[in-house]
Amino acid sequence: MKLFSRWTRNLTVSLAMVACSSLASGQGESYPIPMEAGPAPIAYGNPSEMGGCGPQCDGYSEGSCEGGSPAGLAGGLLGCGSGAGCSCGSCMNRGNGIGTGLRDGCGPLGCNGGTFGDGRSLADLFSALTSRLGSLSGALVRPYGEGGVAAQRWFDFSGEVIYLSRTKGAGGQNFSSQGRSPTNPTDFVLSSNNVDLDQYRAGLVLQGNIQVGPGSNVEVGYFGLSKWRNSATATSSTPTLYSFLSNFGASPFDGFDDPDRSFTHTLSYESKVNNGEVNLRRRWAEPSGFLQGSWLAGIRYFQLDEQLNFTAQGENNNSSSDNGPRFFDYQAKTQNQLTGLQVGGDLWLNLIPGVKVGSELKAGIFGNHATQNTQITANSLPAFGIPSIDERASDGRTAYLVQLSTQAVYRLTYAWTIRGSHQLIYVDNVALAPENFNDSPPALFLPSSTRNVRINTDGEIMYTGFTAGAEYSW
């Protein structure tokens, strides 16, 4: 009986191959049945012929399962089986996206299995891309590719130079006008827009990683030492420059002696940032290794310090013993200390062994301890018996920070990798120096004036720029 069963099975395989050849000559493209015996059939197929049509096929019509897979050779789970009975046209017409056979059969997008219905899987597509990019890089400097395209994303320490520019945050406050009570925008000759901090300034980025478990690490990062400075000056051949303190010469009429009726008005703006964070990162990789990523959660500290000076120089003070020029100096300093929790993650595509591109997003909610300090010195203050006017205000409120970066790495050796990135950092609800100038004159200047010491924390700021540096692994 065993000999008879073996002879019957071989005969069935031979008949199936003949049917496959017949179908190939009649319609579409067909695929040969493997000669070795397949796994045990699934009972979703035709109950009378294990391995034929699944319940999604309506019998043996249109040749879709006619002469279908013999017993033991990859019957369809829900649709057509594989082999001679599954021609490309019939399966695509059936639309059996999940009705693939256990072996070749119909794929989600067509016949012969695979992701794309032509035998190719997603890994095959990446392999072709890798091969072509690898050939291209061979003509240049081939990266260090040990570990293949699925090598785990990791480094122990990195250092970079960061170049950032502020694209938002100066505001549009007017500080000086040419003539009293200006009526046209061109009459305002000095504003915070004249001291935009949109120049690129260099800073430092450092990061260290400590592995704490499989796929998990604690990372400590810092960036800062970036400082922006800018200044602008308005001049007049006659003493006709008026300041914001007198509402540009309107109140009181013709302004004050010290900040108004001036020859020069100058604005000087300075800002700097420092950032530190500690995160727990958990890494993952999809099965083929071409895509890798991670999620993170941690604590972040962000400090933003600013200072804006407004100075004026006018006519000589004839009532003074030294008969020196009248002067006025208004200095506003703000400090923001953001501390809070952040979450985020990154996603990397491994193009070829040793070359990766990716993107990272981090966002957090922070408590901002903000302070502002104002100091005014002027030619007439000593007459009141005081060297300066000093004010201070503080506030605590919720602030937000989002950082988005696009990155690329190129591995040179086992230990060294070069990296670069584009950065975007947005911070909301902070105190900016230009927005914390109090335009109410001090009571010493105008007794009828009511000057409330306050702080404005409604500012927002945005940085854009790029980094360049290296990673080290030991």
* Domain boundary pick from 120, 146, 181: 120
* Residue 42 domain-assigned (yes or no): yes
Residues 106, 167: one domain?
A: no
Q: Which CATH number fits the domain that encloses residue 369?
A: 2.40.128.100
> What mean pLDDT do residues 11-22 have?
43
> What mean pLDDT do residues 175-183 have?
91
Q: What is the pTM of this model?
A: 0.70
Q: Could you read off the pLDDT of 39-59 as tens digits, one per residue?
A: 444 333 443 343 444 444 443
Residues 84, 180: one domain?
A: no
Residues 91, 171: one domain?
A: no
402 lies in which domain range?
157-472
Nearest Cα neighbor of 105 from 42, 61, 47, 14 is 42
* Residue 151 domain-assigned (yes or no): no
Residues 116, 161: one domain?
A: no
* Residue 130 domain-assigned (yes or no): no
Q: Could you read off the pLDDT of 110-155 as tens digits, one per residue?
A: 445 554 455 555 556 666 665 655 555 555 568 998 888 888 899 9
Residues 185, 331: one domain?
A: yes
* The predicted structure's pLDDT at residue 46: 42
Residues 161, 107: one domain?
A: no
Q: Label residue 28 by pLDDT band (50, 70, 90).
A: very low
Residues 217, 276: one domain?
A: yes
Residues 68, 200: one domain?
A: no
Residues 248, 200: one domain?
A: yes
* Residue 144 domain-assigned (yes or no): no
CA dist., res. 81 & res. 98, Å (int): 11
Residues 88, 170: one domain?
A: no
* The predicted structure's pLDDT at residue 39: 44
Query: What domain count does the chain have?
Result: 2
SS (H, E, C) the chain: CHHHHHHHHHHHHHHHHHHHHHHHHHCCCCCCCCCCCCCCCCCCCCCCCCCCCCCCCCCCHHHCCCCCCCCCCCCECCCCCCHHHCCHHHHHHHCCCCCCECCCCEECCEECCCCCCCCCCHHHHHHHHHHHHHHHHHCCCCCCCCCCCCCCCCCCEEEEEEEEEEEECCCCCEEEEECCCCCCHHHEEEEHHHHCCCCCEEEEEEEEEEEEECCEEEEEEEEEEEEEEEEEEEECCCCCEEEHHHCCCCCCCCCCCCCCCEEEEEEEEEEEEEEEEEEEEEEEECCCCCEEEEEEEEEEEEEEEEEEEEEEEEEECCCCCCCCEEEEEEEEEEEEEEEEEEEEEEEEEEEECCEEEEEEEEEEEEEEEEEEEEEEEECCHHHHCCCCEEEEEEEEEEEEEEEEEEEEEEECCCCEEEEEEEEEEEEEEECCHHHHCCCCCCCCCCCCCCCCCCCCCCEEEEEEEEEEEEEECC
Residues 398, 463: one domain?
A: yes
Residues 109, 169: one domain?
A: no
* Residue 142 domain-assigned (yes or no): no
* Residue 229 domain-assigned (yes or no): yes
User: Is residue 365 pLDDT above 80, yes or no?
Assistant: yes
* The predicted structure's pLDDT at residue 140: 56
The overall longest dimension of the chain from CA atoms, in Å, is 131
* Domain boundary pick from 65, 98, 120: 120
* Domain boundary pick from 66, 93, 120: 120
* Residue 167 domain-assigned (yes or no): yes
